[in-house]
Amino acid sequence: MKHSGCFYRPQAGLLLACALLAAAPPLRAQVQEGLKLSGFGTLALTRMDSEQGDFKGTFGDVPLGAGRSQQLSAKPDSRLAAQANYGFSEQLEGVAQLMVRYTHLNNYRPALEMLNLQYNFDRNNSLRAGRMPHPFFLASDYRLIGYANPFARAPVEVHLQSIVTHSDGLQLRHRRSVGDASVTLQMGYGVANYAGASKDPHSAEDKGKFNHLISVDAMYESNALMFRLVHNRGISDYESNSILPLFTRATAENPTLADELSLLNKRVTFTGLGAVYDPGEFLLQAEYTWIRWGLGERSIVPDTDAFYAMGGWRLGSLMPYGIYAKRRTAAARIVTGFTSPAINAGMNTFAAQNTQAQHSVSLGLRWDFRANMALKLQWDRITVDSPAGASYLINLNPLDSPKQGQQFHVLGLNLDFVF
């Protein structure tokens, strides 16, 4: 079965929804002229059983979530989007997508997720220019469309490897048929900006961008089987206001070492490999991602690896499923090169905070109770593996921070829909 731009096997109406909403519209000989309107949404309630911090969901940029600030919250995963596709001619199509969700600015606000033009040279080759979802993950083409994904929440161990959802630039795509299978190759170049809430609730936002971002994306589809390999290389410029005073003092004392530790103008690569097997009666899905910094062991942010494996069994309109996910990090760098013990201690604390090693076990149930709508219930047990107690929690309790070996339980109830 061809996935038609969606990894979850289409139910009634899903093929049409995916064709309209997919970040990479299907290549075809002729574009349907005129205006087409569509949209999607997720109404999500999340609960965590700890007051040591807040669970921030899979987007990773919210300042408050479920847990310490409030046990039950709609902030981490709820969103609503509207999209307009306009066919200017038989070969040229424009796409605009506006999405509202809770942001790092501590409110719900709209943001432009897509604004691009695609020119189809023929049914196998196209060029897109503008703002497009960026290929970091297996489901990047519709990462934000909850209904098109089998689970209620993608494993944070993998999806928080990058909080970037889109980039601005160019993408060239080529598709070739190989027997009953198809191979799609895509290359891109652009820049990706991102912003998120700092772990320190009293500091300003953390922001940054990837300059000269080059992406290579290959996808193989054959009946029930699909593989995807993505590779990204860029120059990172990351600014954390919470540590700016520390780096200012470090630069005054030892500018060479401070520049080496800084995350400004540093090369970084992101690679991901994913697979889906979906014959109909059951679903298997797995993904492995890894990030490598150009400085290797000298980087203050360690290299990371993350993966998940998911399996589900379809029983009519119900699909129970289970997920295991894990994120590993290299050891934190120990900084001793500054004369000031306070600067060394500050750098070591910052390095330890980036060793967010953890693993999780998830159980869930998806119910497609009507066309274009699904209700999902998911329970996650997250275990902190980092020796420093670093985790993906935010709004941490300074008097009771997470420790290695601690477990948190997260319960989510989502209503996903497309229209």
109 to 194, 207, 234, 283, 328: CA distances (angstroms): 15, 18, 29, 35, 34
Provide the pLDDT confidence category of residue 3 given band limits of 50, 70 and 90: very low
pLDDT value of position 332? 82
Check: CB of residue 151 under 8 Å from CB of residue 378: yes
pLDDT band with cut points at 50, 70 and 90 for residue 361: very high
pLDDT, one tens digit per residue, over 171-229 is 999 999 988 999 999 999 999 998 876 655 555 567 889 999 999 999 999 989 999 99
Q: What is the mean pLDDT of residues 133-161?
A: 94
Q: Look-up: residue for tokens 């691009």?
A: 116
Is 80 exceeded by the pLDDT of residue 365?
Answer: yes
Q: According to the model, what pLDDT value does residue 1 have?
A: 40
Neighbours of 379 (CB within 10 A): 15
Report domain extents, the chain: 40-77+145-418
Q: What is the mean pLDDT of residues 353-375?
A: 95
Q: Can you give the pTM of this predicted structure? A: 0.91
Of 2-6, 177-181, 263-267, give the lowest mean pLDDT range.
Answer: 2-6
Answer with the residue of higher pLDDT: 44 or 293. Answer: 44
**pLDDT-based confidence at residue 28 (cuts at 50, 70, 90):** low
Of all residues in the chain, the percent with pLDDT exceeding 70 is 90
Tell me, which fold does domain 40-77+145-418 have in CATH? Porin (2.40.160)
Residues of the chain above pLDDT 90, percent: 66
Which of 275, 278, 166 shows the shortest CA–CA distance to 213? 166
| Residue 300 CB-density burial (10 A; 0-12 exposed, 13-18 middle, 19+ buried) | buried
Q: Is the predicted pLDDT of residue 416 greater than 90, yes or no? A: yes
Paired with 416 in beta bridges are: 42, 374
pLDDT digits (tens, 9 = 90+) for 279-327: 999 999 999 999 998 776 677 888 999 999 999 999 999 999 999 999 9
Length of the chain: 419
Asked if residue 6 has pLDDT above 60, the reply is no
145 vs 350, which has greater pLDDT? 145
Per residue in 133-143, pLDDT (tens digit) is 999 999 999 99
Q: Which two tokens stand for residue 18?
A: 């995916």
pLDDT of residue 324: 98
Is pLDDT above 80 for 265?
Answer: yes
Contact 97, 77 (CB under 8 A): no
